[in-house]
Amino acid sequence: MTVPTENVDFVVNKSNLGKCRFVSSGVTPLGEGEVRFLVEKYAFTANNVTYGVAGDMLKYWQFFPAEGDWGRIPVWAIGSVVESKHEDFGDGDRYYGYFPMSTTLIVKPDRVNSRGFFDGTLHRQESAPTYNQYTRVTPEQGFAPAYENHSMLYRPLFTTSFLIDDWLAENEFFGAKTLVLSSASSKTTFGVAHQVALRGDDGCTIVGLTSPANVEFVESLGCYSKVVTYDDIKSIPNDEPVAYVDMAGSANVNAAVHHHFADQLKLSSLVGLTHWQEGGQNADMPGATPQTFFAPDIIQKRIKELGAQEFQATVGAALAKMYDFADQHIEIVIRSGQDGVESVYQEMLAGKTTPNQGFIVSMNG
């Protein structure tokens, strides 16, 4: 494959995410043991916006540093080898993992095996292993050619959904009879609802919170027992124990949930920031103390308990069912080039996308 003569980064201002630009530079020569990837395509979702919003707090900016006040938002992508100084990597080898919104990426493969590798680049070693792992794009690793876009779009989100459901079930839903999920139209959230619904009588009554504009879509999913708008939270019965999983990150919504359910609120788990513009701290709320759910920690726990292969097989089987479920409700939209990159980013940042679409983007397209 032809080695690119330049690299292009899409960077955003860390303190003003709406400000963005493309930065071109010459390619850096490879060191011994390094590999250069061409970033073929990636998924962009509200989850990636969360990476920017929480970039300092959760150290997402550290994965792919940029100069000054600028940062590169990480994305889940497929890359192909275009240059290698590592004996185990050849031109055209394809891997899935964490990439920047750039045209190329240099990695230093470590712990290489037939399934993939970990990036041994020094500045990434303090990060959770999940973010440094790259998987071969082969059917044996769960990447059927017809489902590559599904893998990029849904694998990170639905893996989190699977882990939340698994964690809730392991803890017997913290004694709750009702599970309340905010941002019910988001893919991660309806992934949780789908998994819990599959448990039948072993699960909970599932209430989805959403905006009036998304009620029809959320109801069409068929995995919620009840759909309630944010301004109607008080209509939910509060005479039984409740578990709350928050994907929205809205201070107002969280306050309404806590004050409505009060001592009946047995779990308040913070996962996402789809309503990041409404974020903020709430002090002295009744009910369970809010706690942050961090998927990589749960992944490492399960891998230790089950072993990596059994864990991946279990998640893979669940993902296959969720892909089929998503295909009934979501259209995968392809955009390419710099205009495609920026338009998807700005629309997602401003909350102007519709819940029945998922985006695959290629800067090299």
Residue 293: the pLDDT is 84
Q: Is 50 exceeded by the pLDDT of residue 276?
A: no
Topology given in CATH for the domain delimited by 6-143+331-362: Quinone Oxidoreductase; Chain A, domain 1 (3.90.180)
Q: Can you give the residue ranges of every domain in the chain?
A: 6-143+331-362, 157-296
Residue 272: the pLDDT is 63
Range with the lowest mean pLDDT among 137-146, 208-217, 261-270, 288-297? 288-297
Q: How confident is the model at residue 229 (pLDDT cuts 50, 70, 90)?
A: very high
Comparing 282 with 68, the larger pLDDT belongs to 68
On the 0-12 / 13-18 / 19+ scale of CB atoms within 10 A, 26 is exposed
Segment 130-145 shows an average pLDDT of 91
Topology given in CATH for the domain delimited by 157-296: Rossmann fold (3.40.50)
Read off the pTM.
Answer: 0.88
The secondary structure element, H or E, covering residue 246 is strand 242-246
| Alpha carbons 206 and 176: distance in angstroms, whole number | 11
Q: Is 60 exceeded by the pLDDT of residue 52?
A: yes
Compute the mean pLDDT over every residue in the chain, rounded to the nearest whole number.
Answer: 91
| Alpha carbons 248 and 330: distance in angstroms, whole number | 20
| Alpha carbons 263 and 277: distance in angstroms, whole number | 28
Tens of pLDDT, residue by residue over 81-102, are 999 999 999 999 999 999 999 9
Residue 353: the pLDDT is 92
Residue 67: the pLDDT is 93
Residue 120: the pLDDT is 93
Segment 118-126 shows an average pLDDT of 90
| Alpha carbons 271 and 96: distance in angstroms, whole number | 24
Residue 59: the pLDDT is 84
